[in-house]
Amino acid sequence: MLLSVIIPCYNEEQVLNETHARLTDVMGKIGMDYELIFVNDGSTDRTYPILYKLSQDDAQVKILNFSRNFGHQCAVTAGINHCRGDFAVIIDSDLQDPPEVILDMLEIQQREEANVVYGVRKKREGESRFKLATAKIFYRLLNKLSDTQFPVDTGDFRLIDRKIIDAFNNLHEKNKYIRGLISWMGYKQVPCYYERKERFAGETKYPLKKMVKFASVGLMYFSKKPLKIATWLGFFSVLISLIYALIILIIKLVHPASFVIGWTSIVLIIIFFGGVQLLTVGILGQYIGNLFDEAKDRPEYIIQDKVNF
């Protein structure tokens, strides 16, 4: 039995030695053959030199070095595409998800004979109230809008078996929302509850802008309901305009002398209908943009170097 551990990295020079040490310690306790696949996602600091030195000292360390920064989900995808394990664990390098939880995941997998064991955060240390609140809202909103139900308060930290790995490698979407795709596959998926820690060092690689983009991919790729919302907004705006026209007609007939057309009402109507139209066009644009990315059929990532493969 072989266990693959997939670790995406972007500018993580401050944590890599500690991450390697803790993962190696955990692998020693498991007693399985293993490989540590570090995916360097176009880092601009000393991440790659540090990883390369680790790979020279430890044959279990393997490196996929991207030609540039392609993004976290592409890095995870590359790790899954290249892993050889009967099982694979996806874990970030910042040690917010404790490597020691892998032991619990393996125990749960064996007991439940599960295909997926996904980490559920009971507590999240070192994160702002804003991030906690927005994450909570996003996961619940996505469940409301999507045809597929996703576990809430989860990330990509999970254990997957070879059936899931093979099924994932047959998916050819370009903008992947990996936790959503794994949930969509089905099979037996069970939770593993843990407390998420504060970053060991360094800064978060998911600022607000990236969080919004990530949420957009998750929403647009797993739900057609925004299109339905745009349609209902169109019907609603037409209904409002008909009611408003009827009110004007009645006032004109009942009190023709007192009826004065005001510029305020005209401006408000223009703003309302303009907003509805722009919102609808924006939603359509998001879906068309996704279709454009898929139609180009470019590779999700480009690997510059492979080490110890």
The per-residue pLDDT for range 101-138, each reduced to its tens digit, is: 999 999 999 999 999 998 888 766 555 566 666 666 66
Order of strands, sheet of 154-161, starting from the edge strand that comes earlier in the sequence: 189-196, 116-124, 154-161, 87-90, 2-9, 33-40, 61-66, 303-307
What pLDDT shows up at residue 121? 82
Q: How far apart are CA 5 and CA 20, in angstroms?
A: 11
pLDDT class of 5 with cuts at 50, 70, 90: very high
Number of helices followed by number of strands (H, E) in the chain:
10, 8
Q: How far apart are CA 234 and CA 58, in angstroms?
A: 61
Indicate if the pLDDT at residue 50 is higher than 90: yes
Number of residues in the chain: 309
Q: Which helix (H) or strand (E) holds 102?
A: helix 101-112
User: For the residues 282-301, what does the mean pLDDT come to?
Assistant: 76
DSSP-derived 3-state class of residue 7: strand
- 272 or 69, which is more confident: 69
pLDDT class of 77 with cuts at 50, 70, 90: very high
Range name among 213-227, 265-279, 287-301 with the lowest pLDDT average = 213-227
Residue 17's contacts (CB-CB under 8 Å, 6 or more residues apart) are: 50, 54
Tokens 């469940």 belong to residue:
143
What pLDDT shows up at residue 270? 73
What confidence tens digit (pLDDT) does each residue in 33-44 have?
999 999 999 999
What pLDDT shows up at residue 165? 95
Specify the amino acid at residue 299.
P
- 233 or 15, which is more confident: 15
Residue 103, token pair as written in the block: 């032991």
Residue 293's contacts (CB-CB under 8 Å, 6 or more residues apart) are: 174, 175
Contact 181, 109 (CB under 8 A): no
Q: How far apart are CA 150 and CA 160, in angstroms?
A: 16
Indicate if the pLDDT at residue 24 is higher than 90: yes
Indicate if the pLDDT at residue 234 is higher than 80: no
Q: Which helix (H) or strand (E) holds 34?
A: strand 33-40
Range name among 92-96, 162-166, 211-215, 226-230 with the lowest pLDDT average = 211-215
> Which of 34, 152, 41 shows the shortest CA–CA distance to 93?
41
Indicate if the pLDDT at residue 258 is higher than 70: no
The pairs formed by 43-52 with CB atoms below 8 angstroms and a separation of 24 or more are 43/9, 43/10, 43/11, 43/12, 43/13, 43/69, 44/11, 45/11, 45/12, 45/13, 46/13, 47/9, 47/10, 47/11, 47/12, 47/13, 47/16, 50/13, 50/16, 50/17, 51/9, 51/16, 51/307, 52/307
